[in-house]
Amino acid sequence: MAPPPVLLLQDIRLTFGGTPLLTGAALSVAPGERLALVGRNGSGKSSLLKIAAGLIEADAGSRFVQPGATVRYLPQEPDLAGHPTTLAYVQSGLGPGDDPYRARYLLEHLGLTGAEDPQRLSGGEVRRAALARVLAPDPDILLLDEPTNHIDLPTIAWLEGELAAARAAVVLISHDRRLLTALSRATVWLDRGVARRLERGFAAFEAWRDEILEKEETAAHKLSRQIAREEDWLRYGVTARRKRNQRRLADLERLRARRRSRIRAPGRATLAASEGDGSGQSVIVAEAIGKAYGGEPVVRGFSTRILRGDRIGIVGRNGAGKTTLLNLLTGTLTPDEGRVGLGTAIQMAVLDQRRQALDPATSLADTLTGGRGDTVFVGGAPRHVFGYMKDFLFTPEQARTPVGALSGGERGRLMLARALAQPSNLLVLDEPTNDLDLETLDLLEEMLADYAGTLLVVSHDRDFLDRVATSVIVAEGGGRWQEYAGGYSDMLAQRGRGVEAEAPTVASATARKASPPPLPASPPTPVTARIRLSFQEQHALKTLPARIAELETRLVMLRATLADPTLYSRDRGGFERQSAELAATEAALAAAEDEWLALEIKRETAERR
């Protein structure tokens, strides 16, 4: 006989702003159970979890928690206000019989000392402090809303092991497929206000969900055909007996009512990047770049060449300098040593990690249009803001909603909408997966696969990197970075280990600062060893831009000629000559761009010396 649940929600109903959010949802959690709670952004997952935690009241339904059972809830956006230190914040979550030393133990294992000022913490540090607070009491039920947001790969690996070994029942909302697959033993899908349960882990969820939606579509099609038959009888079969006619009319009305009342599966987001003109073949060339803060090297001696169409993932623990490296490569930050050269015709679009570009007081529509009317320009073409909002699953009723009232997932979609509207051939995404639902993540991955430009992405989502990245740059420690071909799993296979965590204790942190590892002398690169341009090089630097423009013009003409569908049949020899010239011109253009970029880096180095 199955044990009684420690937490039970039945027939939960909740309405926000006149719109039903939950219409009879249920949730049952048995002792020690591992449950994944999934559903798209706005489906009510976080609201259901808050009801389970007792933080908000449902409009209807019942909530039962076993007497004496302790429940701990991790919100999406933890609030540490009112606590002088992180240790005080964690200890405030302990009960009378809880071990007070566990709070300090967890903080140290999460890379915090306990003395940090909550007002000065990064997003990742806030999340780690909140995790320590919910884990410290050793509760009976853990309700976790996006626990991996803003935390690094070592912390995710540690958390996965901690939750797997915990005695508590766990209800988990997450966009991290690997975490859900590793931990869950049952799945609850919150869809159109109702919770459906699968007695299997997340690995089986997507196939099960697709099967349900397919059956719904089949049933809807059958219903539509039945209505069409009845309407046809209504038009042409009115000579039948009066009593039978009345019954069939009533049946038809009932069928129409069923179709009207049937809640359709929500639409899918339509993600498409506004692609700008093509960049040059070489997009970014970094030569032995370095950057240090307070004497501590963040990046040192790093070189790379990023070509058009590359998808580069950047990974490392929090504080390793991922965003610093990203800013160096994109020219936002100037290196202390070495040089970064950007290729020709670069059009960059950026997704900010902390969503700081969003004004919480500005409406959703004004955020997209810049407050200028009701038109948003996508790839240079005008679109009505309501239509563009619909692509990202926003309704017209949300147009005047302040950004501050949106959920974390909705703000994530809004940032994507803004970034993807900009014409670009270089897309820079800093933690794009935070707060996004799994379906939107799927569509983002599909869009990036079709994107013709170059991608730089900082992410802790292992599955996302495997699906998107063509190479991964990893922090090796001491400011050193190494590039590996393939996605995250390919990097693990080549490197033989994952991303290491920073040593957790205060003593080790102090030791690191007192005696940093010696920096090996880097051999001088050809760019920095020669500090003058020859006469031929100076002449080439002046004439190459015109040569590049001439080759680009010739490419446009050749492509226009070859686009004629009748050319091959009319003049096969001409078609072959034009095709050969096109290939030769593309190669010449790539060589000219590479030469110009190398000379430009050399010129800047010479001027600095």
pLDDT in tens, 139-168: 999 999 999 888 888 888 889 999 999 999
Task: Classify residue 328 by burial, with Cβ atoms within 10 Å: 0-12, 13-18, 19+.
Answer: buried
Residues in contact with 439: Cβ distance below 8 Å, sequence separation at least 6, in sequence order? 40, 268, 269
Beta-sheet pairing, 381-384 with 375-378: antiparallel
Look at residue 61 and tell me if it is in a domain.
yes
Evaluate if residue 481 carries a pLDDT over 90: yes
CA distance 495 to 359: 42
CA gap 463, 466 in Å, rounded: 5
Cα 383 to Cα 240, 364, 369, 378, 421, distances in angstroms: 53, 15, 10, 7, 10
Query: Do 191 and 318 reside in the same domain of the chain?
Result: no
| 534 and 516 within one domain | no
Find, among 358, 431, 429, 514, the residue nearest to 122 by Cα.
Answer: 431
Q: Which of 188, 207, 226 is the last residue of a domain?
A: 207
- Does residue 70 have a pLDDT over 70? yes
> How far, in Å, CA of 590 to CA of 281, rounded?
6
Rounded alpha-carbon distances, angstroms, from residue 425 to 182, 307, 343, 468:
36, 12, 11, 16
How does residue 508 score in pLDDT terms, banded at 50, 70 and 90? very low
Residue 442 and residue 471 in contact, taking contact as beta carbons nearer than 8 Å: no
Residue 351 has pLDDT above 90, yes or no: no
Q: Would you tell me how many other CB atoms lie within 10 Å of the CB of residue 348? A: 20
For residue 269, what is the DSSP state?
P
Hunting for tokens 């880096």 — which residue is that? 601
Residues 41/64, Cβ–Cβ less than 8 Å: no
220 in any annotated domain: no
Output the pLDDT for position 304: 92
User: Domain check: are 473 and 566 in the same one?
Assistant: no
Q: Is 112 part of any domain?
A: yes
Together in a domain, 304 and 452:
yes
Residue 502's pLDDT is what?
47
Output 572-577 pairs: Cβ under 8 A, ≥24 positions apart: none
Q: Is residue 404 part of a domain?
A: no
Domain-embedded: residue 291: yes
- CB count in 10 Å sphere of residue 150: 20
The residue written with tokens 């506004």 in the block is 274
Q: Where is average pLDDT lowest: 135-149, 297-311, 531-545?
A: 531-545
Which residue reads 């050399």 in tokens?
Answer: 602
Query: How long a stretch of residues is the chain?
Result: 609
C-beta separation of 333 from 293 below 8 A:
no
Higher pLDDT, 167 or 508: 167
Alpha carbon distances (Å) from 472 to 282, 467, 579: 18, 12, 35
Please tell me what DSSP assigns to residue 353.
Answer: T
Q: Does residue 15 fall inside a structural domain? A: yes
- Give the DSSP per-residue string, 178-196: HHHHHH-SEEEEEETTEEE
Judge whether residue 517 has pLDDT over 50: no
Identify the domain boundary among 207, 228, 261.
Answer: 207
- Give me the percent of the chain exceeding a pLDDT of 70: 81
DSSP assignment, residue 42?
Answer: T
Q: Among 138, 127, 199, 197, which Cα is nearest to 167's?
A: 138
Give me the pLDDT at residue 529, please: 39
Evaluate if residue 326 carries a pLDDT over 80: yes
Examine the domain organization and report whether 11 and 135 are in the same domain. yes
**Domain check: are 506 and 539 in the same one?**
no
CA distances from 391 to 268, 378, 399, 416 (A): 8, 12, 13, 11
What CATH number is given to the structural domain containing 553? Answer: 1.10.287.380
- 408 pLDDT above the threshold of 80: no
Statement to judge: residues 198 and 290 lie in one domain: no
Region 512-538 average pLDDT: 45
Amino acid at 165: A
Report the pLDDT averaged over residues 288-307.
Answer: 91
475 pLDDT more than 50: yes
Q: Residue 59, Cβ neighbours under 10 Å: how many?
A: 12
Q: Which of 491, 526, 561 is the last residue of a domain?
A: 526
Q: Are residues 18 and 84 in the same domain?
A: yes
C-alpha dist (Å) from residue 406 to 358, 381, 399, 464, 570: 11, 27, 11, 24, 60
pLDDT at position 17 over 70: no
- pLDDT of 254 reads 61
Mean pLDDT (the chain, rounded): 81
SS3 state at 500: coil
pLDDT of residue 290: 94
Pairing mode of beta strands 186-191, 169-173: unpaired
Element (H, E) at 568: helix 567-570
311-315 and 194-198: which strand pairing? unpaired
Would residue 270 count as lying in a domain?
no
pLDDT of residue 240: 46
Domain span at 320 = 275-347+424-526
With cut-offs at 50, 70 and 90, classify the pLDDT of residue 527.
Answer: very low
* In the block, residue with structure tokens 């909705």: 410
DSSP H or E segment with residue 604 = helix 572-608
State the Cα–Cα distance between residues 200 and 382, nearest whole angstrom: 46
Decide the pairing of beta strands 19-29 and 7-16.
antiparallel
Q: What is the pLDDT at residue 560? A: 84
Strand 480-485 versus strand 471-477 pairing type: antiparallel
pLDDT of 455 above 80:
yes
Residue 48: the pLDDT is 94
Mean pLDDT, range 487-496, rounded to an integer = 86
Eight-class DSSP state of 405: G
The tally of domains found in the chain comes to 3
Between 489 and 438, the higher pLDDT residue: 489
Same domain, residue pair 516 and 571: no
Low-confidence winner among 9-23, 153-167, 325-339 (lowest mean pLDDT): 9-23
Q: CA distances (Å), 246 to each of 232, 260, 323, 518, in order?
A: 15, 21, 71, 92
Do 41 and 437 contact (CB within 8 A), yes or no? yes
pLDDT recorded at residue 506:
37
> Which has the minimum average pLDDT: 89-98, 251-260, 285-294, 349-358?
251-260
Q: How confident is the model at residue 346 (pLDDT cuts 50, 70, 90)?
A: confident
What is the tens place of the pLDDT at every residue in 203-219?
999 889 888 888 887 77
Question: Are residues 496 and 540 located together in one domain of the fold?
Answer: no
- Sheet of 426-430: strands edge to edge? 348-351, 426-430, 454-458, 311-315, 471-477, 480-485
- Of 434, 432, 494, 498, which Cα lies nearest the Cα of 468? 432
Residue whose entry in the numeric block shows the structure tokens 């390793």: 320
List the alpha helices (DSSP H) in 82-152: 86-91, 100-109, 123-135
CATH number at residue 506: 3.40.50.300
Q: Residue 129 corresponds to which tokens in the numbers above?
A: 């402090």
Selected residue with higher pLDDT from 471 and 527: 471
Whether residues 150 and 26 share a domain: the answer is: yes
The Cα 327–Cα 486 span in angstroms is 22
Element (H, E) at 301: strand 296-307
Residue 314 lies in a domain: yes
89 pLDDT tier (thresholds 50, 70, 90):
very high
**Do 508 and 594 share a domain, yes or no?**
no
At 114, the pLDDT band (50, 70, 90 cuts) reads very high
